[in-house]
Amino acid sequence: LITRKSNYFASGPAHLPDFVLNEASKALFNFKDTGLSIVEITHRSHDIETVVNESKNLLREILHIPQQFEILFMAGGASFAFANIPLNLTGRIGYAITGRWSKLAYNEALRVNPKHIQLCDTEAIGYSELPKVDELDLSQVDFFHYASNETVHGIQFKQAPEVPVPLICDMSSDITTTAIQWEKYGIVYAGCAKNLGISGMHVVIIKKDLLATTHTVPNIYSLRELAHSNCLYNTPPIFQIYTTYLMLQWLKANGGLPYFSQKSQQQAELLYSIIDANPKLYLTKVKPQYRSNINIVFDLPSPELVINFLAEAETHNLYGLKGHKIMGGIRASLYNSITLEQVGELANFLQHFAQKYS
């Protein structure tokens, strides 16, 4: 195996395990000794159908997805999903806006149909707290849409909201890091570029009875048609699907949900403990109980210190730590392929920087 520089904490596209990249490279040149690249083989072949089916089976196994749910691999990222889902669903969706991605999802839903509703927007408090969902007026809505983890603001629902309507959730940045209470959901969707492979594809996990009631839309947008064709309505993003398949194999071989959910909590606790021990240097906005286990977002007292932090981090082989452009500051994204050892290296650097600048 070729080894690479791997302390890469970017928010997505995420660092990928060497196993995934090595296997994907081999398949790109010669898939399973067929003498053809995986991207050259027709999607009407047994080989490609097997990749699709095995990927679905692995995802079902890892996330304990009940049989009442259909698994769909669809071209386009999560941004495609949050525009396309309101196009397909007949009901009215209520949106809890808790950061950048849920806001964008609501804006796109409004373009599809002005009937969709904003239930709350916590922007006025800087997205520092989650809403109390039992205080929201859900009398007009058929679904409750939320983003379980807001990748930009670093705020996360640690449990599914308790509401009387089915949930629709954007899990792009925390899927495979927590168990999902499927009985509460109508749809879970996620872009693949963080914990499920590479960009350009998303996964929609949708209750089959909802599929039956979807709008008739052009086939290329249709979740129903995608389900009927087993994700092979047209030439699919097969390299993306194959990368997801490899990622799922890797997740399973390395401990699956039990390991990755425990690891996610452990690594976040380690970094927040150092942040909290240095409150004058490492500045956080989100209230501790809502802080994301995935995207550790903090600022420093001056823009110069941010520049120093990023430059010094690179001298310690730590990359991808710059905050989102609307936030500034620092963001460390801890997706599945980042190891506990690598988080340990980042923790040592946070300690070292605090000793130097406090």
* Residues between 34 and 53 with contacts to ligand PMP, criterion CB under 6 A: none
Looking at 101, 174, 263, 299, which residue is catalytic? Answer: 101
Q: Which tokens sit at 139?
A: 């009398």
Q: Is the peptide bond before 13 cis (omega within 30 degrees of 0)?
A: yes
> What span, in angstroms and rounded, lies between the C-alpha atoms of 81 and 76?
8
Q: State phi, psi for 191 to the nearest 5 degrees.
A: -70, 155
Residue 114 CB: number of other CB atoms within 10 A?
8
Q: Which amino acid is at 356?
A: K
In the bound complex, what is the minimum distance in angstroms from residue 295's beta carbon to ligand PMP? Answer: 8
Burial class (CB in 10 A: 0-12, 13-18, 19+), 25: exposed
| Between 55 and 151, CB nearer to ligand PMP | 151
Q: Which CB sits closer to ligand PMP, 88 or 172?
A: 172
- Give how many residues touch ligand PMP by CB under 6 A: 13
CB of 335 to ligand PMP, least distance (A): 11
Residues 259-298, buried b or exposed e (16+ Cβ, 10 A)? ebbebbeebbebbbebbeebeebbebbbeeebbbbbbbbb
Cβ nearer to ligand PMP, comparing 83 with 274: 83
List the one residue out of 252, 140, 184, 57 whose CA is nearest residue 171: 184
170 is catalytic: yes
Options 16, 20, 41, 78; binder of ligand PMP; rule CB under 6 A: 78
CA-to-CA separations, 325 to 282, 300, 331, in angstroms, rounded? 18, 15, 11
Residue 194 designated active-site = yes
Helix (H, G, I), strand (E, B) or coil at 342: helix
If one asks whether residue 12 binds ligand PMP (CB under 6 A), the answer comes out as yes
Position 95 contacts ligand PMP (CB under 6 A): no
Applying CB under 6 A, the span of 74-82, 156-164, 236-244, 306-314 interacting with ligand PMP comes to 74-82
Residues 141-200 touching ligand PMP, rule: CB under 6 A, are 147, 151, 170, 172-173, 191, 193, 199
231: left (phi over 0), alpha (psi -120 to 50) or beta: left
- Bridge partners, 120 (sequence order): 96
| Binding residue (CB under 6 A) for ligand PMP from 6, 22, 57, 79 | 79
Q: Is 250 a catalytic residue?
A: no
Query: Near ligand PMP by CB under 6 A, which window of 77-85, 106-114, 263-271, 348-356?
Result: 77-85
Stretch that binds ligand PMP, among 71-79, 121-129, 256-264, 343-351 (CB under 6 A): 71-79
**Stretch binding ligand PMP (CB under 6 A), from 76-84, 282-290, 299-307, 311-319:** 76-84
In degrees, to the nearest 5, what angle opens at C-alpha 146 toward C-alphas 140 and 152?
145
> Toward ligand PMP, which CB reaches closer, 196 or 350?
196
Of 56, 194, 285, 322, which one is the catalytic site residue? Answer: 194
Active-site positions read: 101, 170, 194
Chain residues in the site for ligand PMP (CB under 6 A): 12, 77-79, 101, 147, 151, 170, 172-173, 191, 193, 199
